[in-house]
Structure 1
Amino acid sequence: MAQKKRITAPGAQSRRKQRQVIRYTTVGAVIVAVIFFCILIVQGYEMMQIYQEQQHVQQQLEQLQQRNKELEAEKAKLSDPKYIESVARDELGLVRPGEVPYIK
């Protein structure tokens, strides 16, 4: 059997090659776009995690600053001679020389 030879119109092969190049270019562009969007999604997720961690650290900082203020106030109170005397009298039952202690 003899094989039939295809008769093609002039320029048909070049059009077929052009379509093939366009198809490969389109597929390549879609792949690049998908990779680009995947990278954007990953970076967005990482930025969201960093933002949440920043908010958590900011909250801890505010709590520690408040605690620091409380401790500074307590330090000032503990340095006050009147407060020291009241603690010595009320909690330890100490009296000044010449005073007579009594039990409440």
Structure 2
Amino acid sequence: MRHAKRRRGIRFDWFAVVLCAICIYFAYVVFNQQFSLNELNRDLTQVEERLAAAQQENAALKAEKDNLSEAEYIEKTAREELGMTKEGELPYIVKRP
């Protein structure tokens, strides 16, 4: 009879071990999913920033395209970027120290 009591006292509780293992597994899954979500949110933020920059550049290019059909803009661009002058004008170049 003593032998039976002894076995009962050192009985291993498998239910607690399995329950603990399941809890650890679910904690790992939740942590892994949260890590993935954070990474996706970071990527989304970067993509939204790139999209905003591309939209600004697109708007600037559309405005420049609209200006290309105006004679005043063409003249201004030719004078500033290409150094062109009208007939009878003398170009003036400033030397920078």
Asked if TM exceeds 0.5, the reply is yes
Moved over 3 A (4+): 85-88
CA distance in 1, matches of 2:77, 2:71: 10
Runs of 5+ unmatched residues, structure 1: 1-6, 96-100
* Matched residue, 2:95: none
User: Does residue 1:102 correspond to 2:94, yes or no?
Assistant: no
Question: Which string of whole-angstrom CA distances, capped at 9 and with x for unpartnered residues, describes residues 17-42 of structure 1?
Answer: xx847x10111000000011001001
How many residue pairs match? The answer is 87
- Does residue 78 in structure 1 map to residue 68 in structure 2? yes
Identity among equivalent positions (%) equals: 25
SS at 1:93 equivalent: coil
The residue identity in structure 1 corresponding to 2:24 is V
Q: Partner residue of 1:93?
A: 85
- Aligned residue for 2:39? 49
Runs (5+) with no aligned partner, structure 2: 93-97
Secondary structure at 1:32's aligned position in 2? helix
Cα RMSD between the aligned structures?
A: 2.6
Trace 1:5-24 onto structure 2 (pairs within 5 A). 7-8=1-2, 16=8, 20=11, 23-24=13-14
CA offset at residue 67 of structure 1?
A: 0.7
Aligned pairs for 1:22-61 (under 5 A) are: 23-61=13-51
1:93, distance to aligned residue in structure 2 (A): 2.0
Mapped to 1, the partners of 2:77 and 2:34 lie a distance apart of 58
